[in-house]
Amino acid sequence: MSFGYFSRKVLAALATLAFVVCFNFFLFRVVESDPVASLFRGRNLTPAQRLELRQEFGLDGSKGEQFVRYLQQTAQLNLGRSYRSNQPVSSEIRERAWPTIALVGVSTLFSAIFGILIGIVAAWRRRTKADYGWTGFSMATYSMPDFWLGMLLLISFAVALGWFPVGGITDTGSDATGVAKLFDQAHHMFLPALTLTLAYLGEYALVMRSSLLDTMREDYLTLARAKGLRDVVVRNRHAVPNALLPVVTLIAINFGFVLSGAIAVETIFSWPGLGLLTYDALKGPDLPMLQGLFLVFSAAVIFFNLVADLLYGFLDPRVRTP
């Protein structure tokens, strides 16, 4: 990979991040004229108390002064203090990030693996019952809203059958440690992870099927068959590796989007991650928390888009040419 290609992609990502940082300020500070008045609506606060609250939450001074202070604090990873808990936003986001990363990581891994396998089977056996069945299943799961699918799984397997807990990350009052604690967390994670896996399974399957069908039309596969190679060798050694390029890019991009898109699933299953934190902040509204979460989600999308661009450029030299 050339340095020019790498530097172009990195600079474009940094420029996008800079725009998001600026937009983040004006979205939550300029649109909302007086957050203190909205937050403490109906309370008889004296002017001195209002001034003290505005200073505490960094809302004193002109918009220009607030913007400069906001840029300085953001550069120091200081995202302000939460209206709801009066705790640093960055520490709360950091605490809630690991449950979301675990949930999104597991669901992305399984949805990609099974989606790729389904796409390979559907493409290689195109216009057969296997193709129609797996393609229909993929389109059905892809069209289902994740919150609706989550509620179906919750009602079926947690409420009706009682096989899984209805929410949380561990049993209430549990003092398990080590392996026992991991099994308890995995038991709680199963339904939300299954929801996200099924919700994004179809996308990988359909993209893989389409990519493999395009690859199967290439001349080098005809040449490989003419050399007498077995069909399974042609598929596994020649067709599938080249068809995986769009799917690899999709995995990197989707990880950033799923990180911010698990709000509904985490809320339904009371999973204590960034999605549930966003839902709680919306009820306030807790503007500093929403501002911090918007910045984190946007940065995640930008970062994984950059990873996808660099990875695609590494895998396919054709995209590196200006």
- pTM for the model: 0.78
238 vs 256: CA distance, rounded Å: 30
Three-point CA angle 5, 11, 16, nearest 5°: 130
Give which of 267, 262, 220, 263 is closest to 239, Cα–Cα.
220
Helix (H, G, I), strand (E, B) or coil at 88: strand
Tens of pLDDT, residue by residue over 177-202, are 777 778 878 888 899 999 989 988 88
Token pair of 271, please?
A: 């999973």
| Lowest-confidence segment of 80-84, 98-102, 266-270 by average pLDDT | 80-84
Please check whether residue 95 is in contact with residue 42, taking contact to mean a CB–CB distance below 8 angstroms. no
pLDDT for 259 beyond 70: no
Residue 297 pLDDT: 86
Does residue 170 register a pLDDT over 80?
no
Q: Rounded to an integer, what is the distance from CA 41 to the centroid of its chain?
A: 34
Which amino acid would we find at residue 131?
Answer: D
- Other CB atoms within a 10 A radius of the CB of residue 193 amount to 24
pLDDT (tens digit per residue) in 8-46? 888 988 999 989 888 888 776 665 555 665 555 555 666
- CB of 85 closer than 8 Å to CB of 177: no
Q: What percent of the chain has pLDDT over 90?
A: 2
CATH 1.10.3720.10 maps onto the chain at: 92-320
Name the superfamily (CATH) of residues 92-320. Answer: MetI-like (1.10.3720.10)
**Peptide bond just before 285 cis, omega within 30 deg:** yes
Residue 181 CB partners (closer than 8 Å, separation 6+): 170, 174
Q: Decide if pLDDT at 278 tops 80.
A: yes
Two tokens, residue 303: 């970062």
| Phi-psi label, residue 295: left if phi above 0, alpha if psi -120 to 50, beta otherwise | alpha
